[in-house]
Amino acid sequence: MKKLLTQNLKNTTALLFLFVLICYSVEAQTIFKKILKFPIPKACVSNPIITCPPNFYACPKASTLPFNTGFASAIPGGPNCSAPVITYKDQVITTGPCNGATEIQRTWIATDPQNSNLKSSCTQTIKLSDESSPVITNCPLNINARAGQDCKANVSWTPPTVTDNCGKLFLTVSHISGDAFSIGATTVVYTAEDLCGNMTQCSFTITVEGTCCKSNPILICPKDFVGCPSDSTLPHHTGKPSIAPGAPACSTPSVNYKDSVLSTGPCNGSIKILRTWKAFDPYDGTLYTTCIQNIELKDSEAPSIMNLPANITVAPGKDCKATVHWIEPQTADFCGVKTLKATHAPGSTFSEGTTIVTYTATDKCGNTNSKTFTVTVSACCSTPPIIQCPLNYTNCPKTNIDPSITGQATATKSSIGCGDPILTFSDSVISFNCPGAKLIYRKWKATDSNNPQLYSTCTQLIELKDLTPPTFNSCPANVTVNTNTPDCKATVHWVQPTASDNCNGNVIISSNYTSGSSFSEGVTTVIIIGTDECGNIAQHIFTITVINTCCKDRPKITCPADFNGCPTEHCGTNISGTANASPGNQGCPQPILSFKDSLIHIYSYCLHAKKFVRIWKATDPNDPNNYSTCRQIIDLLDRMPPTWNSCPPNITVDAHGACEKSVYWTPPVATDNCSGVTISSNYSPGNIFPNGTTTVIYTAKDACGNVTSHQFNITVIGSGLSIECPNDIVVEKKDHYGTIVTWQAPKVKTCGNCKDTIKGFVNMGSYNGSKYFCSLTTATWIEAKAICESLGGKLVVINSKDENDYLTSKLMGTTAFIGLHDSNTEGNFEWIDNSPLTFTNWYPGQPNNANGDQDYCEILPDGTWNDQYGKNCYREFICEIPCYTIKQIEGLPSGSVFKCGTTRVTYVAQQGNAKDTCSFTVTVKCNGSNYCESRAQSCGLLWIKNISLSNLNNTSGPSQNGYSYYPYPCAELKWGKQYDLCLTPGFANQIYNVYWKVWIDYNGDGDFMDQDEFVAYGVSNTTICGKITLPWNCMCPVVNTRMRVSMSYGSYPGNSCCIFAYGEVEDYCINISHGNFGPNNQNELTQQIDPVEIFTKENTKPLIEVRTTGTIVEEDLQLVPNPAQSIITLLTTSNEASKLRVYDAKGRQIYFNSLQEINYRLDVSNWNDGIYLIVLESRSGKKILKKLNVIH
């Protein structure tokens, strides 16, 4: 179709003009200028003629759009010119002083549609202001009134009329018609203020005359009351006060009382009450008198025990036990006895000895009294005597074994009632071969003299034996002699030894040699043996050494060990060792040593390396033929490789994104056992290494060619790729959900190669880590997007002017699709990768969404952008192929909502096997907020010590200014769930009763004024606990919000925004997420959560009664609209509403008026943005509460 249109356009100008009109395309104009070959009609050369509308003046906030301020008009500047396009630009000259007041200079511009350089302009002034004050008419005159019995007068008047030239104003009054006024003069002021701060006032005086009661009533308290725990605490029992008017002009006072429970327990009904009586004037509540009455119901006296039995002594029966009876004692108590218990009852059985019987009386309050007496059962005998054997006895055979020698057993009776024991024994004897040797088991028996059946036994072991050998009294010493006989022997004499035995028995002595025997050369051992009667043996050994003084033997010679050593030219005995030589016997002289070397082998490859035999010779100096020899092998060769003394370990270095890395190390050192070492290596310290692992090899070689090697690895990581994250981000929380946080993508540097060719595409080059490829064929935008993604890339995303200029320089007159579109929401252009739209370069007048169907963007040859059709429109397109990939592996993505606290965000970049990571943190600070101020003026005496809720358990001391905020950690809660809440006060010295209130800002709107946000209250002087249930009848979003805990001395905190004298206020971070509502609790979804009262852990009753004032339910009041920015209407179904008050977020009243009808209009256009509390009061004192959100 494109080809056919081109051929037709060459033949006719009309068709060309028609095609341009159809396409509405700037690109078509650019192409056709290049392909047309025929003349073009004469162009327009004159500027358009423009006429401005008149200057415009109006009130603030009037519309400044042309439909209100007037349109400019324009006509073509010449006959060849088209109707001009009219646009305008506004310049704000001034703003203020009030909201909506401004002065604008509007420049109208008429531009020729064919030539944007042909244009004309004019200026219009637009001023919105209000300089006139409001007008108050019909201001009431001064009024005089008479006071009633309550010392006040209700005064009514007709309110004045207020008008303003710009219609909107704010009316403030000090009093409303119908108010009650006290005696004296009161000035009523009406103030009218318009939106620009222009103000007018009118005032009048109301004077109330009369006399009334000024004295407090007279009140005399009843006496303090003390009674039993079961007594009544009502005044008819504890006493009533006396009352009287404070003065004759006063009425009879009314009286009431309020009880404060100071303590309860320890028994049921025990209580200590502080009763405050109050007498007050029935017409003036400020005139009152109070007094204190103490009421205490207690029982602190123990019961008494009377007629306790005396101590009892009885004799035992046959079983050594006795049954004992007695009369039980009586008890008495002032408030009643609860129990009387005993350790033993009358008729109990007692064993031998003394037993204590205890009676304990307990009254209803736990007071106890105990008394005791004893029951004694005299002794009896039922156990055998106690026997103790003598020690075991050992002695020589034939020894006397009478108990007077071997030992006597002892025995005692087991108890006082037993007879004296009788001792006897019997022996069991085992005899041995040694005369008189035996083993005796002596069994001793102790028998009760009164009862032969009661006896005890033990066994004594008696041994008569001899295990000790005899002892020699005198023994010969070792003997050394020379040969003294012709046959080279020696005759030796010695004195025979004697022996004795420990048991005085006979000892027989024998020997292997006798004195006077002949002994040969050398050492001979003589053994003498002594044996006693029991066969125990003792022996004595000595030696006889005979020295040969006859020389007939060859010398003795011992060669040194064979020697393996390092090569050397001369190997002396100082290196290889010397032989040892000695005479053949003692009669011979010291032999002479000599040696001779004989070569066996030469190692030619190593200098001085050889192998030879060394023959050693020992010669008798008196007889050259009397000699001995031995052989020593000497081998001089280095067979051991060098040894490494220090070697580098494996090394890993981080290149931090560089392509290569210089690496240094200490070279190794090698030594050799024989000679010097030559060291070589394939790499040297300081060499440059690429990414990955490289093996470094060191080689050491000695003079004989022995070689050893050492290798280690050098690993370079992080080479070729580095990623740099944004700096840490710190922001303030902007709403109750958190804060939306965005950041730029991390920057990546790489040394790796990118993809250079793609079939069907032209390489446009690289920019900022990506390759750009322009297609050689056309496709629709949707098809182009799919093709780029199939190649591992995307339709190009342009984030800066530099990137746009780079692509423009590579287009070469081509129009191509890019990755920008508004197909999701018309006019909301977004990149396909959801990156932020930080740069645009639209062609003038674009985007225009021609025919309502241009949702996809293209870049024109001059680099400007145009929106284009998605279907049936084909273009070349640019694919952006990354040289690397970036992936977020930790944290929320950019543009997400971050809750309070710190979140870690981590990215990883990868190209091939190279990876690098970086991280940064996003911190959302929740300290700043719009919450109202609430604090204690002093918290040095008492403060909030601990608060426990869910995972939150916070312990703290007194704060500096009576307030603390704890943003971390957040309590994690779920909608509709129930949680334990515990509060603990801290005290400096004295302990006080403190009053608690707890609020949770459920909807996170920056205040605690909404329904259900007051969640708990209570009073205590120790830890106080209760269960709170989160509401479920709500939209229930996931919310990050705040809990406020107020602890006050003397009374409950008035509201969540008050400042009180003593105590402390603490705020805590709260996260509330979705809960699970199952089928079993669907019926509960209509329930409403009321604030719960919490109690001390020891008591389930409230310590102080809490009464709340009545309110009209919130559904009786509607604010339309809400949020609001100008006029709102208050709709209520209550006919009792009479007064309207408005409070800001700090608790200050900013508006007051009386209501004449149930539908009331209120102008909030001049109010500051924020939260306001609307309070609608009824005539009976009830209130309607509703929150209003003002947003301009």
Average pLDDT over residues 154-174: 84
Integer CA distances (angstroms), 995 to 560, 1001, 1063, 1107, in order: 106, 20, 9, 14
Instruction: Select from 224, 241, 220, 235 the least CA-distant residue to 296.
Output: 224
The counts of H helices and E strands in the chain are 9, 91
Q: Which two tokens stand for residue 1150?
A: 């900013």
pLDDT of 43 reads 75
Helix (H) or strand (E) holding 807: helix 801-811
Buried (b) or exposed (e) across 177-200, using 16+ Cβ within 10 A?
eebebebeebebebbbbbbbebeb
pLDDT digits (tens, 9 = 90+) for 209-267: 877 788 899 999 999 999 888 888 999 999 999 999 988 778 889 999 998 888 888 88
Measured at the CA of 862, the angle between CA 859 and CA 864, to 5 degrees, comes to 45
Is 0.85 topped by the overall pTM? no
Quote the tokens at residue 575.
């290196």
User: Which of 204-208, 674-678, 913-917 is the least confident region?
Assistant: 913-917
pLDDT value at 16 more than 60: no
Other C-beta atoms within 10 Å of 1181: how many? 9
Whether pLDDT at 1174 is above 80? yes
Q: How does residue 929 score in pLDDT terms, banded at 50, 70 and 90? A: low
Judged against a pLDDT cut of 90, whether residue 1036 lies above it is answered with: no
Q: What is the pLDDT of residue 755?
A: 75
DSSP 8-state class, residue 827 = T
Residue 296 has pLDDT above 60, yes or no: yes
| Bond prior to 97 in cis (omega within 30° of 0) | yes
Q: Which two tokens stand for residue 502?
A: 């420990």
Residue with tokens 């208050």: 1130
CA distances from 429 to 86, 390, 426, 460, 534 (A): 145, 18, 10, 12, 19
Q: What is the pLDDT of residue 753?
A: 67
552: nearest Cα among 523, 524, 580, 521:
521
Identity at 691, one-letter amino acid code = N
- Measure the CA–CA gap between 721 and 658, rounded to whole angstroms: 7
Q: Quote the pLDDT of residue 8.
A: 35
> How confident is the model at residue 563, as a pLDDT?
92
Query: Which pLDDT score, from 0 to 100, does residue 318 have?
Result: 66
User: How much is the average pLDDT of 444-462?
Assistant: 90
Which run of H or of E encompasses 652?
strand 651-654
What 3-state class would DSSP assign to 786?
helix
Q: What is the pLDDT of residue 1076?
A: 58
Mean pLDDT value of segment 1165-1192: 80
pLDDT band with cut points at 50, 70 and 90 for residue 1033: low
Mark 530-543 as b/e (b = at least 16 C-beta within 10 Å): bbbbbebebebebe
Per the model's pLDDT, the better-predicted residue between 1001 and 1149 turns out to be 1001
| Tally of CA atoms within 13 A in the half-sphere of 823 that contains its CB | 13
- Across 38-42, 533-537, 801-805, least confident range: 38-42
Q: What is the mean pLDDT of residues 15-32?
A: 38
Cβ atoms within 10 Å of 121's Cβ, excluding its own: 17
* Residue-level pLDDT at 778: 93
Burial class of 564 by CB neighbour count within 10 A (0 to 12, 13 to 18, 19+): middle
Q: For residue 795, which amino acid is it?
A: L
Strands (E), 776-892: 794-795, 816-821, 830-831, 854-859, 865-869, 876-882, 885-890
Instruction: Report in angstroms the alpha-carbon separations of 1062 from 119, 262, 954, 1105.
Output: 74, 20, 21, 21
Q: Token digits for 259?
A: 């009880």
Q: List, in sequence order, every residue forming a beta bridge with 811; answer none if it has no partner.
A: none
Q: What pLDDT score does 321 carry? A: 85
361-399 per-position pLDDT tens digit: 988 888 899 999 999 987 777 788 999 999 999 988 888
In angstroms, what CA-CA distances link 695 with 649, 651, 689, 712? 11, 10, 10, 6
Alpha-carbon dihedral sign for residues 858, 864, 867, 872: negative
Asked if 898 contacts 738 with a C-beta cutoff of 8 angstroms, the reply is yes
**For the chain, percent of residues with pLDDT exceeding 70:** 90
Output the 3-class SS for 486-553.
CCCCEECCCCCCCEECCCCCCCEEEECCCCCCEECCEEEEEEEEEECCCCCEEEEEEEEEEECCCCCC
Q: Facing residues of 717 across strands?
A: 654
| Least confident range of 131-140, 498-507, 862-871, 1137-1146 | 1137-1146
Q: Which helix (H) or strand (E) holds 787?
A: helix 781-790
Binned at pLDDT 50, 70 and 90, residue 37 comes out as very low
Cβ contacts of 888 within 8 Å, gap of 6 or more: 905, 906, 907
Q: Which tops the pLDDT comparison, 68 or 1099?
A: 68
In the prediction, which pLDDT does 217 show?
92
* Tokens matching residue 962: 């009576």
How far the first Cα of the chain sits from its last, in Å, is: 55
Tell me the backbone φ, ψ of residue 91, rounded to 5 degrees: -120, 120
pLDDT at 112 over 80: yes
Amino acid at position 204, single letter: F
3-state secondary structure 674-698: CCCCEEEECCCCCCEEECEEEEEEE
Distance CA 27, CA 860 (A): 6
- pLDDT confidence of 1034, banded at 50, 70, 90? low
Cα separation values, 843 from 108, 851, 860, Å: 21, 18, 9
Rounded percentage of the chain residues whose pLDDT exceeds 90: 36
Average pLDDT of the chain to the nearest whole number: 84
Average pLDDT score over residue span 55-63: 87
User: Could you give the CA distance from residue 202 to residue 952 in angstroms, rounded to a whole number?
Assistant: 56
Q: How far is CA 594 from CA 262, 578, 610, 1101, 1149, in A?
A: 121, 10, 22, 120, 131
What whole-number distance in Å separates Cα of residue 1042 and Cα of residue 978? 18
- Where are any strands of DSSP class E within 378-420? 386-388, 393-395, 410-412
Query: Mean pLDDT, to the nearest integer, of 813-831?
Result: 91
Decide if 224 contacts 263 (C-beta within 8 A). Answer: no
- What are phi and psi for residue 30, nearest 5 degrees? -65, -40
Q: State the residue for tokens 């509960």.
A: 1084
pLDDT band at 1101 (very low <50, low <70, confident <90, very high): very low
pLDDT at 1094: 59
Sequence-ordered list of residues with C-beta below 8 angstroms from that of 360, at least 6 positions apart, any chain = 340, 341, 342, 368, 369, 370
971/130 Cα distance (integer angstroms)? 51
